[in-house]
Amino acid sequence: MITKELLSEVLTNTYGENFQIYEFEEAFTFEGYHFTYDYSDNNIEKDSINIYELAHKCKEWAFNNYGIDIKTSRRTFGFVAKLGIGTHTNGQQTADTEPEAIFKACQWILDNKEK
């Protein structure tokens, strides 16, 4: 659903430059769907983040770092995330859930940031 590289990029804004993810896993518990990850900013620690909070952080990451506004909408087949740069829409990603569509859109940005 989300790559280790993207998760590291997005959470570096929260933890700082020395942040590094070693492992992460998806989990569904009574509290909801979240990612648990092992990270280090000097010592190895464990933390978790709710999937919807992470999706929001991904949208902030895209806008703050690349000026790309990600807008999602519901379709009969799932969700669509559209990438907007200024007044132009430069593509879209589809998925069964809204967070997954956002993660796919952010992964596209990460994969194409040099272009």
pTM given for the model? 0.81
pLDDT (tens place) for every residue of the chain, 115 residues total: 788 888 888 888 777 676 777 777 776 655 567 777 777 666 777 788 888 999 999 999 999 998 889 989 888 777 888 887 654 556 678 888 888 899 999 999 998 877 6
Q: What is the pLDDT of residue 106?
A: 93
| Phi, psi of 30, rounded to the nearest 5 degrees | -60, -35
Supply 11's token pair.
């959470």
CATH of domain 4-112: 3.30.2120
Domain boundaries, the chain: 4-112
Q: What is the pLDDT of residue 55?
A: 93
DSSP string for 3-50:
-HHHHHHHHHHHH-TT-EEEEEEEEEETTEEEEEEEEESSSEEEEEEE
